[in-house]
Chain A
């Protein structure tokens, strides 16, 4: 059980994490979502006691992380692809970790089997690929058989096979009753794996809700229409009190209406529609909208740090948009 209470982290005049309060639900895969620079990694490091909060606190099973006895048996974490020295073998890397928390040595072989690194157990970590390094990191996280797993961007840089492996693993870990807290900047990734979502933007909590609810709330669909008789169509929509927007290409878009209703409306008036289609907003767009909103609402006088740096935020979101396209 991990509880964050008003957790904050300030670097100079930049507030990286801003009074975060939430409890990670147990036994589920919880997606920790936010654009790059939102404060996800900093939050995870504070949970592990690697970074000191400048305000608030975070408790793991009711204690500060550095007060835990045998912490690896409470929380397993994957922070970076390679948090291991290249000159040591995978087996010996896991061995010193096991020794540090009085974990029996046979567990080392067990976790190497789980992640599929048995054959390279005695090879030096320096020769590992990114994917193998990631598997070793997962093995280290599983070593103490912890009830809680923290995974920071585990699919970053992995090949498709590795991505599928991580997804399957996270689901099976949750099926075993473990709590999996996984960060990502990709909504699409979370939509496939997470049961619960915690969204942050610029260090602030934006959403803390079950995945299903997020989808219901955010997958609003739009109806796109085009016609050679725009005046008539506008008149018809106005009469039925359907809100619409006219795009640059002359096509119309309406929100919260079924395409069938538009079709009937047009047919009743003898209107010819050259296009009628349902545009489903992707979760990715919903997520971007959510985090982009946070940027605008942030610029209040109560938050001086945010108010002084709106351009930084825009560049971050556009960087995010580029990533999505690429």
Chain B
């Protein structure tokens, strides 16, 4: 008993407590099928959608409206609205699956520090979605530019690399936002039922309503997508960096809400 008491007296630091928690989350993620399937689905949707859009843009380039500057990078991310749904599912299931199955109790008994658990989940989700996001973004860019032919841009052109990297970060931020919202809701189906239609439909519909168009630019998805533009468009309320900052703020808010919920609510 004395050795245990001594070991208990010296509580290991934050990092050495975080490492096993990260290890556990990583093990969870790689031992079920759905996360891998979602990353692949996201890749296919983003790259495929972009290839399709840029193919038709190239064929009908002369008939495009010429009042605003053409966005070659944004066009190669034509599958982003569909592909981001895979990131939503990934972020939701990261904790929603545990609430649905009751495993959250096993998780909290193993890692009782709520903040530590959330940090471990967010870090693993960031690492996985950023790695997959980078592969997806660069694939979408190069495939799209190949489709655009002479209308395409090179990775070395002004703002282009920033915009492509933005595509990768965007996917990560959407996944993290979904993780935060799901933790606050504590229900997988509810989170999916709110987030999926929101990102796929509602945001787009709101954008089309005259009068609220400007306001909808502040929504997490639309603000973040500004970062994929290489030109300033006349309707833009703010530039790419402000847009990125707004999305990061949304994510921070969602994760803060998640942390408060995990601490306050009974499991």
Contact = CB atoms under 8 A, between A and B. Distances in A.
Interface residues of A, number: 38
Given A96-B24, A99-B27, A80 B105 contact: yes
A101 B110 contact: yes
Contact of A49 (B4, B12, B17, B112): B112
Contacts of A69: 7-8, 11-12, 17
Given A50-B266, A61-B8, A92-B31, A83 B102 contact: yes
A65 B98 contact: no
B68 interface: no
A100 interface: yes
Interface string A78-100: 01101111111100110111011
A78 to B, nearest CB: 10
Contact-residue size bin, chain B (C-beta under 8 Å from the other chain): 35 or more
Contacts of A52: 264, 266
A285 to B, nearest CB: 35
Interface string B82-107: 00000000000000011001110111
Nearest to B116: A66
Nearest to B104: A83
B267 A45 contact: yes
A8 to B, nearest CB: 14
A48 interface: yes
A75 B110 CA distance: 10
A85 B20 contact: no
8 contacts: A49-B109, A50-B108, A50-B266, A68-B112, A71-B112, A85-B32, A86-B101, A99-B20
8 tightest A-B CB contacts, nearest first: A100-B24, A92-B31, A66-B112, A96-B27, A51-B266, A100-B110, A50-B267, A99-B23
Given A45-B267, A48-B108, A84-B102, 13 more contacts: A52-B264, A66-B112, A69-B7, A71-B109, A80-B102, A82-B102, A83-B105, A84-B106, A85-B103, A88-B28, A88-B32, A92-B27, A97-B110
Interface of B: 4-5, 7-8, 11-12, 17, 20-21, 23-25, 27-28, 31-34, 97-98, 101-103, 105-114, 264, 266-267
